[in-house]
Amino acid sequence: MSNEPENARALAPVSARIVLSSDDIDRVITRIAHEIIEANKGTADLVLLGIPSRGFPLAQRLAQRIAATDPTLDPSAIIGQLDVTMYRDDLRHSTTRTPVPTRLPATGIDGKVVVLVDDVLYSGRTIRAALDAIADLGRPRIVRLAVLVDRGHRELPIRADHVGKNLPTATTEKVRVHLSEVDGENNNEVIIEATA
């Protein structure tokens, strides 16, 4: 819900191309999972917080990959969902957003290594909101950011630690991420749509 300006939705796509296939997404997630373990020197204190709506299934997939390397780890015990609606800076200017639940792992986030997970990194405003939300929920030791796609055009000094694919785009283009957990069975791909 964060990867495009609201007003772009009204415009009809004139062309669309797939930039990540279902297999590509799988490979990218496996790679990021390994990067996270690498950076953390293991799985200790890891918490993956997905930003709704597509950051959460990505966090789930990452947790499964990470757990695959460590049989003692319960993937559901290290993931959570972080709703940033109330922290957005555009509440007055878009249609009213409905908040969704924030769910933290039972261990909380104090002293943890929190990896924020989102699908597309664009202006950086969603991540800014997420950092504020985290600050109200506890005090992690480290906060890192993992995204499936970084499409550029940052408006804030924010960068990702783990990037699935860097995707140079024009602001007139839209990046659509489809994940089967949200978008239905066998619907796993990243598409760029050019708009007139």
- Residue number with CB closer to another protein (96 or 186): 96
Q: Which stretch binds another protein (CB under 8 A): 57-65, 129-137, 145-153, 172-180?
A: 129-137
Task: Candidates 48, 58, 87, 178: give the one binding another protein (CB under 8 A).
Answer: 87
Which residues, 89 to 118, sit near another protein by CB under 8 A? 91-102
The per-type count for the chain, helices as H runs and strands as E runs, is 4, 8
φ, ψ at 89 (rounded to 5°):
-100, 10
- Residue 53 CB, shortest distance to another protein, in Å, is 15
CB neighbours of residue 86 within 10 Å: 13
User: Judged by CB under 8 A, how many residues of this single chain contact another protein?
Assistant: 19
CB neighbours of residue 139 within 10 Å: 11
Which residues, 45 to 84, sit near another protein by CB under 8 A? 83
Q: Does 186 bind another protein (CB under 8 A)?
A: no
- Residue number with CB closer to another protein (100 or 191): 100
The answer to whether the CB of 33 falls within 8 A of the CB of 26 is: no
- Residue number with CB closer to another protein (72 or 95): 95
- Residue 82 CB, shortest distance to another protein, in Å, is 12
DSSP-assigned states of every residue in 121-185: ESSSHHHHHHHHHHHHH---SEEEEEEEEE----SSS---SEEEEE----TTSEEEEE-HHHH-T
- Residue 26 CB, shortest distance to another protein, in Å, is 32
Task: Respond yes or no on whether the N-terminal peptide bond of residue 53 is cis (omega within 30° of 0).
Answer: yes
The answer to whether the CB of 10 falls within 8 A of the CB of 190 is: no
- Residue number with CB closer to another protein (126 or 169): 126
Which residues, 138 to 167, sit near another protein by CB under 8 A? none
Binding interface with another protein (CB under 8 A):
83, 85-87, 91-102, 132, 136-137
